[in-house]
């Protein structure tokens, strides 16, 4: 127990503002996995905020260090409230398993922002977070415009889910 210097605490806030703790972990990766799993498996449950904080053990510090602080938004691609923006790391990801649209700072060009939609291999590099959202919104609008009624939207979502299942089969 003396080896543990920090603990990692994930939590999530529902639409009514009720905070739900998700445990206390000795490793950041375990806490982050728990948080991501909760968001992914319960994407339709109405969560609005999530965070992962680090506490120093045996310390007089009264504040936790925020490692992630995420807010749920409507995804610019799938139009579900599953697009989580992390204000600490300045990135975003749709946690709807069939969509997974994403935005992150470019690893190659420091001043650029990358975004994409994995199911069809769409990627784009733009100048700002706002440009990335705009790029994904434009692409999402094209998808929605290509559907003529609710049954087409259902078909689109079904195709995304089938794509996800095919990825699972390939990995096993």
Provide the residue ranges of all domains of the chain, joining segments of one domain with +. Answer: 1-73, 75-172
Q: What is the pLDDT of residues 148-163, one digit of tens each?
A: 555 444 555 565 665 5
Residues 157 and 135: their CA atoms lie apart, in Å, by 20
pLDDT tier at 42 (50, 70, 90 boundaries)? Answer: confident
CB 51, CB 88: distance < 8 Å: no
* Three-state secondary structure of 21-84: ECCCECCHHHHHHHHHHHHHHCCCCCEEEEEEEEEECCCCCCCCEEEEEEEEECCCCCCCCCEE
**pLDDT value at position 3?**
77
For residue 146, pLDDT beyond 80: no
Q: Hunting for tokens 């007089």 — which residue is that?
A: 60
């Amino acid at each position: 127990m003396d080896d543990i210097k920090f603990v990692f605490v994930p939590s999530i806030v529902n639409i009514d503002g009720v905070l739900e703790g998700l445990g206390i972990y000795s490793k950041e990766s375990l806490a982050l996995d728990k948080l991501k799993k909760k968001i992914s498996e319960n994407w339709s449950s109405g969560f609005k905020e999530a965070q992962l904080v680090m506490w120093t053990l045996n310390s007089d510090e009264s504040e936790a260090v925020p490692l992630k602080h995420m807010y749920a938004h409507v995804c610019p691609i799938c139009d579900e409230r599953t697009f989580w923006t992390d204000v600490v790391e300045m990135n975003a990801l749709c946690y709807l398993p069939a969509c997974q649209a994403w935005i992150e700072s470019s690893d190659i060009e420091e001043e650029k922002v990358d975004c994409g939609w994995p199911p069809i291999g769409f990627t784009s590099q733009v100048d700002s977070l706002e440009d990335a959202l705009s790029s994904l919104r434009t692409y999402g609008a094209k998808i929605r415009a290509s559907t003529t009624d609710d049954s087409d939207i259902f078909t689109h979502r079904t195709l995304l889910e089938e794509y996800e299942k095919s990825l699972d089969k390939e990995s096993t």
